[in-house]
Amino acid sequence: MPQQALQFLNEMDISVWQVRQTSYFPALENTTLSLPETCQLLFVAPAIPTERDAFLFGKVLASMKLSPEQALFLSSESLEYIGEHHLDWCWFSGVSTTELEGVKILTSPLLSEMHSNTQSRRDLWRQICSYDN
């Protein structure tokens, strides 16, 4: 990425980003993603959560004693490009899971489907609690 673009992102206080159309930036293809050290949970889903979904997401984070600043969204296609990380959790919502060494894995339906499905919220809670034992 050109230095000017990096400087522009830095000025906007954006430290993590994803290029949606990598065909425009051939130099970025097949590069590794660096996650900030503060990232404890990686939320992997097909799309960025809506405002309504973000509220439920925040409630789940709070139950795990995590803040929104400690979580990042990543599309499932980008998961293979993760380099070194300090993750504790990886939550797969509506996508197939991938093993990450030393990371606690959570699975659930899409957040949008969990609003009206009490059982799916219970199942997620049980997964979270299973790691406390």
The strand order across the sheet containing 89-93 reads 71-74, 41-44, 89-93, 104-108
Q: Which residue has the tokens 């991938």?
A: 98
Tokens of residue 14, six digits: 């954006």
- Structural domain count, the chain: 1
Instruction: Give a yes or no: residue 4 inside a domain.
Output: no
Q: What is the pLDDT of residue 25?
A: 67
Instruction: Give a yes or no: residue 10 inside a domain.
Output: no
CATH number at residue 80: 3.40.50.10220
The CA distance from 28 to 1, in Å, is 7
Instruction: Give a yes or no: residue 18 inside a domain.
Output: no
Instruction: Give a yes or no: residue 88 inside a domain.
Output: yes
Cα Rg of the chain, angstroms:
16
Instruction: Give a yes or no: residue 125 inside a domain.
Output: yes
Instruction: Give a yes or no: residue 60 inside a domain.
Output: yes
Tell me the CA distances in angstroms from 109 to 15, 122, 128, one per residue in order. Answer: 29, 12, 15
Q: What is the pLDDT of residue 125?
A: 94
Instruction: Give a yes or no: residue 34 inside a domain.
Output: no
Query: How confident is the prediction along the chain (133 residues), in pLDDT tens digits per residue?
Result: 566 776 777 777 776 666 666 667 666 555 677 888 899 999 999 988 888 898 999 999 999 999 999 999 988 888 877 878 889 999 999 999 888 888 999 999 999 999 899 999 999 999 999 988 6
Q: What is the pLDDT of residue 66?
A: 94
**pTM flag (> 0.85):** no
Instruction: Give a yes or no: residue 15 inside a domain.
Output: no
The residue range of the domain holding 126 is 40-133
